[in-house]
């Protein structure tokens, strides 16, 4: 019922906003990616700084049934619409540039084990009719996306992803970052970040119960005091950045431990940061099946893969590439005991070579120029 109502709401708003005359210098960014590696938000900041000739509006969260009509009017007036999830536009004369929000590692759409055919067909039509340009990083990316959403090849342009421009340009110092999250000053500090994917879709109440009780890894042998002590001995600090749904249900949100801290969206929004503007300050990544792993390859730093629910994930949703141990350029760990052992020596020449191999496959473009490439392709400097 909620989905039906929202589709009706969108239809009404699109009709009304479609009556608004288009402005050639107006652009709207529909940001559905929050602040955790948002192509939309980072591109918005770039346009604000470098293109004063454009009238740019950032809309977030998107989609939403709580937008004022003044915002819908700006969407209706925009010549350019930049999206981070499904493509969207109101008039055929508008240009939708689809950034998406990650290189897919998990199956989705047509390829997923847990989607409905009618939904996939509706999405396929939406991409065909509304996406004018799909920004790409490589042939691999295009193959994975088209397998999932059936995007036609003529829509792709190798322009890159704005979020990657921020990885090597942190907006604060490592010292300030450590102080902000850990209230600590440590010149030997190694900062790690744990970013798991959306585990709720595994439909396993026992996993959610572990997370709710503070076991953010959902390990069978989880002992937070022991983990904190192990981190402290090695001057390692762990940031836990859970999926927003998991963070809402997490009881022990404020960590009482010296070397473990939780990051929520409030910290990012309050400071006008995107996570990727801070990610370059970290020294290692822990993830499971999140596409952040492909982006982190640009930093050429160690990655550890938490795979305690690999079999469940492969069965429930599925992965696009496998076997997983072969594509993961880092140690796969299934328990806290294995994690603590892996923290002793996270990197090796073999893993560095593996990271470079997957980086070249997933991103064939020069670094740090993605925002500029998009703007030059659209000739935004000529817009008046």
pLDDT digits (tens, 9 = 90+) for 268-318: 999 999 999 999 999 999 999 888 999 999 999 999 999 998 888 888 888
Query: What's the rounded Cα separation, in Å, for the pair 53 and 50?
Result: 9
Q: Tell me what pLDDT residue 3 has.
A: 78
pLDDT digits (tens, 9 = 90+) for 330-357: 999 999 999 999 999 999 999 999 999 9
Q: Which residue has the tokens 């010292």?
A: 175
Average pLDDT, the chain: 92
Among 214, 359, 236, CA closest to 286: 236
Q: Which residues pair with 28 in a beta bridge?
A: 57, 81
Query: What's the rounded Cα separation, in Å, for the pair 335 and 343?
Result: 12
pLDDT at 253 over 70: no
Helical (H) or strand (E) element with 15 = helix 2-17
Query: What's the rounded Cα separation, in Å, for the pair 137 and 148?
Result: 17
pLDDT digits (tens, 9 = 90+) for 136-160: 999 999 999 999 999 999 999 999 9
**What does the DSSP assignment read for 321-352?**
S--HHHH-SS-EE-SHHHHHHHTT----HHHH
Provide mean pLDDT across the span 249-256: 65
Token pair of 6 as six digits: 């929202």
Query: What's the rounded Cα separation, in Å, for the pair 220 and 336?
Result: 8
Provide mean pLDDT across the span 190-199: 90
CA torsion sign for 228, 223, 280, 59 is: negative
Query: What's the rounded Cα separation, in Å, for the pair 192 and 282?
Result: 6
Report the relative pairing of strands 95-98 and 78-83 from DSSP bridges: parallel
Instruction: Indicate the fold that domain 2-165+367-382 takes in CATH.
Output: Rossmann fold (3.40.50)
Three-state secondary structure call for residue 111 = helix
Query: What's the rounded Cα separation, in Å, for the pair 37 and 291?
Result: 11
Query: What's the rounded Cα separation, in Å, for the pair 264 and 258?
Result: 18
Q: Tell me what pLDDT residue 250 has.
A: 65
Distance of CA 364 to the CA centre of its chain: 19
Q: Which residues pair with 106 in a beta bridge?
A: 319
Q: Tell me what pLDDT residue 1 has.
A: 43
Query: What's the rounded Cα separation, in Å, for the pair 132 and 201?
Result: 31
CA torsion sign for 57, 59, 60, 66 is: positive
pLDDT digits (tens, 9 = 90+) for 49-79: 999 999 999 999 999 988 999 999 999 999 9
Q: Tell me what pLDDT residue 339 has.
A: 97
Q: Which residue has the tokens 């076991």?
A: 215
Q: Which residues pair with 23 in a beta bridge?
A: 78
Token pair of 306 as six digits: 């938490």
Query: What's the rounded Cα separation, in Å, for the pair 281 and 171?
Result: 10
Report the relative pairing of strands 190-195 and 284-287 from DSSP bridges: parallel
Three-state secondary structure call for residue 382 = helix
Helix ranges (H only) for 151-204 are 174-182
Three-state secondary structure call for residue 161 = coil
Provide mean pLDDT across the span 252-256: 65
Class level of CATH domain 169-362: alpha beta
Every domain of the chain and the residues it spans: 2-165+367-382, 169-362
Buried b (16+ CB within 10 A) or exposed e, 210-247: bbeeebbbbbeebebeebbebbeeeebbbbbbbbeebb
Task: Say yes or no: do domains 2-165+367-382 and 169-362 share a fold.
Answer: yes
pLDDT at 201 over 90: no
Q: Which residues pair with 137 in a beta bridge?
A: none
The answer to whether 355 and 329 are in contact (CB under 8 A) is: yes
Query: What's the rounded Cα separation, in Å, for the pair 242 and 295?
Result: 17
């Amino acid at each position: 019922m909620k989905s039906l109502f929202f589709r009706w709401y969108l239809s009404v708003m699109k009709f009304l906003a479609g009556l608004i005359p288009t402005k050639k210098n107006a652009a709207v960014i529909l940001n559905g990616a929050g602040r955790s590696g948002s192509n939309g938000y980072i591109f918005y900041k770039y346009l604000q700084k470098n293109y004063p000739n454009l009238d740019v509006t950032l809309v977030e969260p998107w989609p939403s049934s709580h937008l004022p009509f003044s915002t819908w009017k700006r969407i209706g007036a925009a010549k350019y619409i930049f999206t981070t999830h499904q493509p969207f536009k109101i008039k055929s004369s508008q240009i939708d540039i689809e950034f998406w929000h990650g290189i897919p590692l998990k199956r989705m759409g047509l390829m997923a084990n847990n989607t409905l055919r009618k939904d996939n067909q509706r999405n396929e039509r939406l991409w065909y009719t509304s996406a004018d340009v799909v920004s790409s990083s490589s042939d691999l990316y295009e193959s994975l996306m088209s397998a999932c959403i059936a995007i036609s090849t003529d829509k792709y342009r190798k322009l890159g992803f704005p979020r990657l421009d921020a990885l090597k340009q942190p907006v604060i110092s490592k010292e300030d970052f450590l102080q902000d999250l850990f209230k600590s000053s440590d010149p030997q500090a190694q900062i790690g970040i744990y970013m798991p994917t959306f585990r709720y879709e595994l439909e396993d109440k026992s996993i959610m119960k572990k997370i709710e009780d503070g076991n953010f890894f959902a390990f069978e042998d989880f002992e937070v005091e022991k983990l904190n002590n192990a981190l402290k001995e090695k001057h390692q600090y762990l940031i836990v950045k859970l999926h927003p749904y998991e963070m809402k249900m997490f009881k022990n949100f404020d960590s009482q431990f010296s070397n473990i801290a939780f990051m929520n969206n409030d910290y990012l929004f309050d400071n006008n940061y995107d996570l990727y503007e801070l990610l370059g300050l970290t020294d290692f990544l822990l993830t499971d099946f999140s596409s952040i792993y492909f982006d982190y390859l640009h930093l050429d730093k160690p990655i550890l893969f938490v795979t305690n629910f690999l079999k469940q994930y492969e069965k429930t949703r599925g992965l696009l590439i496998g076997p997983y141990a072969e594509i993961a350029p880092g140690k796969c760990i299934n328990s806290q005991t294995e994690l603590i052992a892996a923290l002793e020596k996270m990197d090796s020449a073999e893993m560095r070579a593996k990271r470079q191999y997957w980086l070249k496959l997933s991103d064939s473009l020069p670094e740090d120029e993605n925002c500029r490439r998009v703007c030059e392709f659209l000739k935004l400097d000529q817009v008046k």
